[in-house]
Amino acid sequence: MMFAFEVDDAAPRDFAGAALVVVLSREKGARSDLGCDLGKTLPAAIAHVAACGDLLGRPDQLLWLYPALMNWRRETPYQAGRILVAALAGDDADPDLLAERLRLCGGLIAAQLKQIQAREALLLWPRDLNLQPAGALRALVEGLALGSYTFAGYRSVADKDGEARQSCRFRLYGGDGAQDLQAAVHEASVAASAVVRARDMANTPANYWTPAEFAATAARLGRGKKLKATVLDKDELEKQGLNAILAVGSGSARSPTLSVVEYHTRKKDPTLMLVGKGLTFDSGGLCLKPPAGMDEMKYDMCGGAAVMAVMQALPELGLSGLNVVGLVPAAENLSGSAALKPGDVLQHFGGRYSEVVNTDAEGRLVLADAIAYGIATFRPQAVIDVATLTGAAVVGLGHHYSGLLSNNDELASRLVAAGRVTGEPVWRLPLGAEYRRQLDSTVADLKNAADRSGGTITAACYLQEFVGETPWAHLDIAGTAWNFTEKSYVPKGASGVGVRTLLRFLLDWGKNVEAGCPQNPLAKRDGRRNL
């Protein structure tokens, strides 16, 4: 199901669509300030249900009411076919936690509307929460849009009436503040659409989503007015000396690519660079992965999908105050006759040599090339890379937090804050020379893997070697990119994690620049120190 959102001030009692959706504060129940007069019948019915203990605010509890059955007083105040009541699971003092509860609520509502195949719905939500109305509505819209997601898939018989093709016009009651809320709805809708695009890329089977498809997507974006795209094919990769990207893809008949998408505002604005790992399939190469679960390795490009989706969303959001460059190194890591071998030595872009001791530690190889090339070409004020990089991240953090490693405290704290706001939490891990020493090689500048201890950290240490003095952060989303946890707004398959966090980070930085704050807020660096 797809939602189209609009804010209006139409009287809820005059709404005649499939469902009137009422979200309440658990503490205040029917007394919640919804920005409009509900009359007497509905609040009385809700109060009665609550008095019976049947509307407790549990995360999975919703209540259907039917106006036609409420006419025992000969009062017919509601024209909607159904009324769906949801009580928030809690009224947290923390606005970020409250926003997440609203997202979860939105996801549950989306599932119910999908079930009844609603074509039109109207939403009322409480204005007396510990969260600004715009923030509350933004979270609800995100939950609704993301909770309605269905991957169309591949079937021999087309389902013309399938849920993936269903659409619902969702009206959001704004009352007197309708105009002020429109911007929040637009931002949430664009962010959710970007997540959907990232999910679609990642859920597509690897024989359909290839390195060439990343390149084609970038080229398509570059045909717009506000984005510029450059694609480096095999010949150009060789010319530029991006040997690690070439080596990782050498075992596949499908050539690797490096897609570059640029979003420009003003020359004087700072530039931030995003790099997303785009391994469209990872067999492990000659260090072959076990068969069980290998089908999930189509998800090894979730970082690249996130970056590409973010770049597409920036013109729609009208980001100002910040130039953004997105790079996606894409390859298939297979075991063909020309495949990379354990013990091989590669020369990265910029000249550094790396000994390959594990062909299944390939993500850091392509990222290192892309990071070094991007810094030399675009000279960004900061770099953020996103990658399903290590199984160690899953061992250490499970499926609920993404790993964060950085050489810059300010950059790290901004990403932590963005993750908290968007409900995509990240946990910062340490860096240091003691971890870097695990990558010492006897034949090259460094090797691409160490022992199993601290695997997420040593992988980041490898990337740090190619960053130089540039403020940099690494997001390891191996545990959160797919099937990571059960949330109402995150279905099975790819989660699209990282998209909303990066958009929030970029929007906040851009607003700071426009407000006259320092263009490079990341000037205070802490070298290798990581608290």
Closest CA relative to residue 99, chosen from 479, 395, 500: 500
What is the H or E stretch that residue 378 is in? Answer: helix 363-378
Sequence-ordered list of residues with C-beta below 8 angstroms from that of 45, at least 6 positions apart, any chain = 65, 70
Report H helices in 223-280.
234-240, 243-248
- Which of 82, 199, 254, 364 is catalytic? The answer is 364
**228 is a catalytic site residue:** no
Name every residue whose Cβ is closer than 8 Å to that of residue 202 and which is 6 or more positions away in sequence: 209, 298, 299, 301, 302, 305, 481, 482, 493, 494, 496
Query: Do β-strands 426-428 and 353-355 pair in parallel, antiparallel, or remain unpaired?
Result: unpaired
Compute the distance between CA of residue 82 and CA of residue 77 in angstroms, rounded to an integer.
Answer: 13
Burial of 290 (0-12, 13-18, 19+ CB in 10 A): exposed
DSSP lists the bridge partners of residue 382 as 272
Return d(Cα 68, Cα 49) in angstroms, integer: 17
Cβ 259 vs Cβ 229: under 8 Å: yes
Tokens describing residue 270: 């700072």
Tokens of 176: 């007197």
d(CA 145, CA 487): 13
- SS3 assignment, position 36: coil
* CA–CA dist 61, 461 (Å, integer): 46
Specify whether 289 is catalytic.
yes
Give the number of residues written for the chain: 531
A 10 A CB-CB count for 353 gives 13
DSSP string computed for 172-239:
EE-GGGHHHHHHHHHHHHHHHHHHHHHHHHHHS-TTTS-HHHHHHHHHHHHTSSSEEEEEE-HHHHHH
Distance from first CA to last CA of the chain, Å, rounded? 44
Catalytic residue among 31, 114, 169, 289: 289
- Measured between alpha carbons, how far is 495 from 147 in angstroms, rounded to an integer? 11
* Residues that are catalytic: 289, 364
